């Protein structure tokens, strides 16, 4: 099978003075289209570092990450950004919404960066995307006027606006009550049903329960 995301033997070290932190020590994983993988583990176990390396936001010191068959690791930041724009949707912990733009305008900005006409022509129209993510009633709202659940939905809408093969979310429901969390999980499930490979880091047992597969991290390695 063609795996949208494959990571092999990732290492990441951080240095602060004499202190060396091994944030990742030999992590490998592959996620299939339509699969929801949840990464769990105690705080400091390397979840965010792993997700950043998978998304090309950070570059591993060792190992390799392939997205849609293309290596994203060990490239200049510009190239990683370009590959991320094409293939990956990232739901940021602090929500990836530009505050001076409405929800709809935030999506338009993401789409304006797509230049490939073939890709453009197969995109779901924005009103349909907003409806699918249950945020259509807030299309004209500015981010600071959104509730927590609405912000989460809008952030996911922005993340999937360019029709990515991979969706990556770092603790996306950390601040949400369980009802809202369930709604967000439903959105991930519907993205997976469309064939998107979904990777979520979370502390929540509820999120873990929604996974097709759980990856447990401990001290920068996969424990099980
Ligand atoms: N930019 C950084 N500089 C120095 N140390 C870092 C940096 N990012 C993460 N770390 C360290 O790497 C380890 C893993 O962190 P992180 O990936 O954030 O774990 P988690 O997301 O599981 O809480 C921790 O010990 C953390 O302090
Ligand atoms: Mg983290």
What is the span of the domain harbouring residue 43?
A: 5-222
The Cβ-side half-sphere exposure at 208, using a 13 Å CA radius, reads 10
Nearest to 128 by CA among 149, 157, 151: 157
Sheet containing strand 19-31, strands side by side: 19-31, 5-16, 62-67, 70-71
pLDDT digits (tens, 9 = 90+) for 125-151: 999 999 988 999 999 999 999 998 999
**Beta-strand (E) ranges in the chain?**
5-16, 19-31, 36-40, 62-67, 70-71, 88-91, 166-170, 197-201, 213-218, 221-222
Query: How many structural domains compose the chain?
Result: 1
Q: What is the pLDDT of residue 176?
A: 86
pLDDT digits (tens, 9 = 90+) for 181-209: 998 999 999 999 999 999 999 989 999 99
Supply the CATH number for residue 208's domain: 3.40.50.300
Ligand 1, atom 18: closest residue by C-alpha: 48
Ligand 1, atom nearest to 170 Cα: 21
> Measured between alpha carbons, how far is residue 116 from residues 3, 111, 112 in Å?
22, 11, 11
Decide: 87 and 165 in contact? Cβ < 8 Å.
yes
pLDDT digits (tens, 9 = 90+) for 57-93: 999 999 999 999 999 999 999 999 999 999 999 998 6
Query: What CA–CA distance (Å, rounded) separates 195 from 197?
Result: 6
Ligand 1, atom 11: closest residue by C-alpha: 23
Per-residue pLDDT band for 1 (boundaries 50, 70, 90) equals low
The preferred substitution site among 22, 23, 168 for testing ligand 1, maximizing ligand atoms within 8 Å of CB, is 23
Residue 12 has pLDDT above 80, yes or no: yes
Ligand 1, atom 7: closest residue by C-alpha: 14
Ligand that lies nearest to the alpha carbon of residue 47, given by its number in the listed order: 1
Nearest to 6 by CA among 199, 160, 212, 190: 199
Ligand 1, atom nearest to 43 Cα: 23
Question: What residue ranges line ligand 1, CB within 6 angstroms?
Answer: 14, 16, 21, 23, 41, 43-49
pLDDT digits (tens, 9 = 90+) for 29-56: 999 999 999 999 999 999 999 999 999 9
Tokens found for residue 22: 């091994």
Tokens found for residue 92: 């940021």
| Mean pLDDT over each residue of the chain, to the nearest integer | 94
In percent, the amount of the chain with pLDDT more than 70 equals 99
Output the CA 3–ligand 1 centroid distance in Å: 27
Ion ligand 2, residue ranges at CB < 5 A: 47-48
Neighbours of 20 (CB within 10 A): 10
Query: What CA–CA distance (Å, rounded) separates 171 from 155?
Result: 13
């Amino acid at each position: 099978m063609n795996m949208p995301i494959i990571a092999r033997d990732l290492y990441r070290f951080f240095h602060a003075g004499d202190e060396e932190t091994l944030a990742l020590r030999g992590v490998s994983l592959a996620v299939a289209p339509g699969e929801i993988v949840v990464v769990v583990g105690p705080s400091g176990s390397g979840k965010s570092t792993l997700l950043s390396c998978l998304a090309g936001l950070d570059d591993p010191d060792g190992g390799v990450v392939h997205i849609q068959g293309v290596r994203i690791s060990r490239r200049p930041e510009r190239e990683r950004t370009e590959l991320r724009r094409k293939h990956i949707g990232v739901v940021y912990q602090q929500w990836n919404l530009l505050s001076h733009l409405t929800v709809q305008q935030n999506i338009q900005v993401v789409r304006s960066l797509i230049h490939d006409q073939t890709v453009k022509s197969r995109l779901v129209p924005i009103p349909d995307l907003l409806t699918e993510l249950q945020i259509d009633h807030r299309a004209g709202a500015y981010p600071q006027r959104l509730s927590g659940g609405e912000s989460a939905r809008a952030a996911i809408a922005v993340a999937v606006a360019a029709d990515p093969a991979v969706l990556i979310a770092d603790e996306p429901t950390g601040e949400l009550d369980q009802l809202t969390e369930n709604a967000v999980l439903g959105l991930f499930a519907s993205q997976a049903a469309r064939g998107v490979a979904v990777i979520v880091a979370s502390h929540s047992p509820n999120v873990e329960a929604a996974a097709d597969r759980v990856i447990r991290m401990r001290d920068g390695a996969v424990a099980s």
